[in-house]
Amino acid sequence: MNAKLKETILNPIFKGNPITVLVLGICSSLAVTVTLKGALVMALSVIVVTGISSLILSLLRNTIPGRVRIIVQLVVVAMMVILVDQILKSFEATYAIDKQLSVYIGLIITNCIVMGRIEAFALGNKPIPSLLDGLANGVGYGMILLIVAFFRELLGSGTLFGLRVLPAGYIPNNLVILPPFALILLGCIIWVQRACDKDLQEK
């Protein structure tokens, strides 16, 4: 694997993480991180949507008329989001989670990460790097989602993936369930990341 491709994959996961560094996609990361299961399904959905939309638009990039490029992007992203939603609704195992995530699956279309990566990367690069860039950004987003959901489900419900891990005597902390706590956790994650990585520190 050449260095540039490696950079494409690793950058969105650590140094250019869409949530902690670019601070995109905050809204949904507050809303869907109450349980790990919800966060996992959301993360996988976003990975699929960013990856495949980037691939399709990269394939079309030389044919898209400049004046309507945002509209073409929207059509493709919306199509992917609807497909994901329809498929989640069709399986017994994911139906309940789709109901729980309700509007947030549909709102992937407004997730800045998707459109941001298409504009910034897919329209100017070849299909394979674009696919990898999309997937990697989805993974970067999903990783943060899962870290936040891990703490919120553990402290807020005393469970992980619905299985009880803390003793029955543990009184769930209701603050952790409420959306503001996700912001506090995100702040802590950003703090840790900046403390470890000197390049991200502002003078």
Partner 1 sequence: MNTNSNIYTVIYTTVIVVVVAALLAFVSQSLKGKQDANEKAETISQMLTAAQYGTKAELDKLGNTAKLEKYAQEIEKALVIDMQGNVVRELEGIEVYGPKELKRQNYNIKGGTNQTGEAELPVFIFRNGNTVVPVYGAGLWGPIWGYLAFETGTATISGAYFDHESETAGLGSRIKDDPAFQQQFIGEQADFSSANVFEIVKGGAPVGEDGKSLKDNKIDAISGATMTSQGLDAAIDTWLGAYAKYFTKSEE
Chain contacts with partner 1 (rule: CB under 8 A): 31, 62-68, 71-72, 75-76, 78-79, 82-83, 86-87, 89-92, 95-96, 99, 102-103, 178
* Residues 43, 25 contacting (CB under 8 angstroms): no
Closest by alpha carbon to 59, among 108, 2, 118?
Answer: 118
Which of residues 12 and 25 has its CB atom nearest to partner 1 in the complex? 25
Which of residues 91 and 191 has its CB atom nearest to partner 1 in the complex? 91
Q: How far is the CB of 6 from partner 1 (least distance, A)?
A: 33
Which of residues 177 and 200 has its CB atom nearest to partner 1 in the complex? 177
Mapped onto helix, strand or coil, the DSSP state of residue 163 is strand
Q: How far is the CB of 18 from partner 1 (least distance, A)?
A: 23
What is the C-alpha separation between 197 and 69, in angstroms, rounded? Answer: 36
Which of residues 96 and 195 has its CB atom nearest to partner 1 in the complex? 96
Q: How far is the CB of 5 from partner 1 (least distance, A)?
A: 28
DSSP H helices in 61-178: 69-90, 92-101, 103-106, 112-120, 127-157, 174-177
Q: How far is the CB of 65 from partner 1 (least distance, A)?
A: 4
* Distances from the Cα of 180 to the Cα of 3, 22, 30, 60, 151, angstroms: 39, 20, 7, 40, 13
Q: How far is the CB of 190 from partner 1 (least distance, A)?
A: 25
Which of residues 78 and 190 has its CB atom nearest to partner 1 in the complex? 78
Radius of gyration of the chain (CA): 18
Residue 11 DSSP class: T
